[in-house]
Chain A
């Protein structure tokens, strides 16, 4: 139940400098709106993601035969349609960026040492970048009718070609 006592903390924003003998820590470092935009992005992407994710779930699980209809053919069918390609692409990017930014703030909040913070973030960005690239690649290069596959498993339009 007892929490560890803190006996030292770094001087807040210790990049402090003294300008004309005035002790504010307002550094001359570049001011950016990154944190503000990140904060805004989280709210906006959150709203969009609610629509995208629930739309996705509704189409996949409720419409027609529902969850039983999902197979390779179903996915292939969807990604043959540019509408679903864009839908899933947007969902992928927003979800990954939203999640990555969320984990970034968690790392900022809970990693106490700068070095730990740095390496955790490197790891996070690499992982996220990998997933985003891979996902994008798959959405755009997905072949719904691979040659030589069992026609049973493919989307119906493959047979007509």
Chain B
């Protein structure tokens, strides 16, 4: 490919664009701080920040961490809503910090950021995810098929593939499980995320262990603890119809038990 050599014009353009005015916001960010190494008590810290354009809550947290208080601790990775690291409670609702645009929040009031509820808080916005993954592991989240392996792929019709499409989107961020009032009480309920991932396999036409998963979820702590409060559906950053998936699993438990 031939490209005309023009001295550093590209750079000039970049510099110009960064100097142009983009909308700015004055934001008050309040974060619940907790570090048992220094104090057993949690407290709220507050910062005034100037943020820009399409900045997200994660950008505000980064600004604090990188410029004001390096000890503020939170998890994050991809920063565009596919890795599921930064689920937190923002203004009382479970959301991903990287998917929550500041301009969509009411900026007249402080933005309140807390760790997700129901899982043990380790430090600031970091919680212990082990109990969550424990539930996930228990529903056997993997394809089981003991038939003779075909030389080529297993066939699956487009309709059969569509049947469980919604629940394949789960990124295991725990926003749903930690928004569930039943999970908050004692952390023993399997929780929406585990059920969603069971759903993904129960309704996969290639899988053969559906009955085992249904048996697991017919447990005292299984699907029957769901009170259909729909918190999980509202919290899901991937737009999965979580409560509907749970209802479908309930129906399947009936179908297999009766």
A–B in direct contact per CB < 8 Å: yes
| Any A CB within 8 A of the CB of B53 | no
Given A35-B222, A36-B253, are A11 and B215 also a contact pair (CB < 8 Å)? no
- CA A1 to CA B91, docked complex, whole Å: 11
Inter-chain CA distance A109–B118, complex, in Å, is: 13
Residues of B within 8 A of A40 (CB): 254
Residues of A contacting B115 in the complex (Cβ-Cβ under 8 angstroms): 5
Given A10-B187, A38-B224: A5 in contact with B34 (beta carbons within 8 A): yes
Partner of A26, one of B216, B227, B253, B257: B216
Which residues of chain A from 48 to 71 have any CB-CB distance to chain B below 8 Å in the complex?
none
A23 proximity list for chain B (CB < 8 A):
137
Q: Does B121 contact A (CB under 8 A)?
A: yes
Q: Is the CB of B134 within 8 A of A11?
A: yes
CA distance A109 to B135 in the complex (A): 18
- Cβ 8 A contact of B42, one of A5, A26, A108: A5
B235 contacts chain A at the CB level, 8 A cutoff: no
Q: Which of A3, A38, A109 contacts B185 (CB 8 A)?
A: A109
Q: Are B185 and A110 in contact (CB under 8 A)?
A: yes
Interface residues of A in 1-43 (CB under 8 A from B): 1-3, 5-13, 23-26, 31, 33-36, 38-40
Residues of A within 8 A of B182 (CB): 109
**B186 adjacent to A112 (CB under 8 Å):** yes
Q: A7-B36, A9-B187, A31-B218 are in contact. Are A36 and B121 (CB under 8 A)?
A: no
B117 touches A3 (CB 8 A): yes
Nearest-CB distance from B214 to chain A (Å)?
Answer: 10
The answer to whether B117 touches A9 (Cβ under 8 A) is no
Residues facing A in B178-214 (CB within 8 A) are 181-182, 185-188, 190
Contact of B121 among A1, A5, A35, A105 (CB under 8 A): A5
Q: Within 8 Å CB of A35, what residues of B?
A: 218-220, 222, 224-225
Count A-side interface residues using an 8 Å CB cutoff. Answer: 29
Interface of chain B residues 143 through 170 with chain A (CB within 8 A) = none
Report the count of interface residues on B (CB-CB < 8 A): 40
Q: Could you mark each residue 103-124 of chain B with 1 if its beta carbon is under 8 Å from any beta carbon of chain A, else 0?
A: 0000000001011011111000
B131 at the interface (CB under 8 A from A): yes
> How near does chain A come to B120, taking the closest CB pair, in angstroms?
5
A3-B117, A5-B42, A36-B224 known; A12-B131 Cβ under 8 A: yes
Residue of A nearest to B222 (CB): A35
What are the 10 tightest A-B residue pairs by CB atom distance, in nearest-first order? A9-B187, A35-B224, A39-B224, A5-B121, A109-B185, A24-B138, A12-B134, A12-B131, A5-B42, A7-B120
Sampled A-B contacts (26; CB under 8 Å)? A2-B114, A3-B114, A5-B32, A5-B34, A5-B42, A8-B120, A9-B118, A9-B131, A12-B134, A12-B135, A12-B221, A13-B138, A13-B188, A13-B219, A13-B221, A25-B138, A31-B215, A31-B218, A33-B218, A35-B220, A35-B224, A36-B253, A39-B224, A109-B181, A109-B227, A110-B185
Interface residues of A (CB under 8 A from B): 1-3, 5-13, 23-26, 31, 33-36, 38-40, 105, 108-110, 112
